[in-house]
Structure 1
Amino acid sequence: MDLPVYTKQQLALRNGQDKPQIWVAYKGFIYDMTESRLWRNGRHYEHWAGQDLTDELSDAPHTEAVFEKFVPIAVLA
């Protein structure tokens, strides 16, 4: 799988506010959550899009298996 690479600064713009895309990173991969009803306006409960959520997953009521529903679109530099 040959995915494009984005920096944290590029990821930060895909927050549903600065740009319409809603992206989040987890364990080095970037996922597009734009179509997810749980990420309306770039927010999912107390989490904001455009960020690396790896360290925040321990606070979530779900496991990392939630990411299996999504295909990574890029790699986080």
Structure 2
Amino acid sequence: MKAYTRQQLALRNGQDKPEIWVAYKGMIYDVTESRLWKNGKHYEHWAGQDLTDELVDAPHTEKVFVKFDPIGQLI
């Protein structure tokens, strides 16, 4: 699996590049096709970031990530 830096992840925010990616527990997920991540925003969260510490405030569990294929590792 390909490894990406935080800087590379940050570019996949739905604004700088067309891809919309988020990271969770060291894995990067492509959420581009999710209607909940249009324009790189999901409620008060922005794409292109590691959301590991923010999940505790979410109304859902980490099981939400099974809907998306991991595309890389965050280094």
> TM-score with structure 2 length normalisation?
0.98
Q: Which runs of 5+ in 1 are unaligned?
A: none
Name the residue aligned to 1:76.
74
CA RMSD in angstroms, aligned pairs only = 0.4
Runs of 4+ in structure 1 over 6 Å off: none
Q: CA deviation at 1:45?
A: 0.2
The residue number in structure 1 matching 2:34 is 36
1:20 alignment partner in structure 2: 18
The letter of the residue matching 1:67 is: F
TM-score under structure 1 length normalisation: 0.96
Q: Secondary structure at the match of 2:72?
A: strand
- TM superposition shift of 1:68: 1.1
User: Which deviations, in whole Å up to 9, do the C-alpha atoms of 1:11-46 show, x marking residues without a partner?
Assistant: 000000011100000000000000000000000000
Q: Which runs of 5+ in 2 are unaligned?
A: none
State the AA in 2 paired with 1:69.
K
- Corresponding pairs, count: 75
SS of 1:62's equivalent in the other structure is coil
1:24-74 CA deviation, whole Å, 9 max, x = no partner? 000000000000000000000000000000000001000001011111000
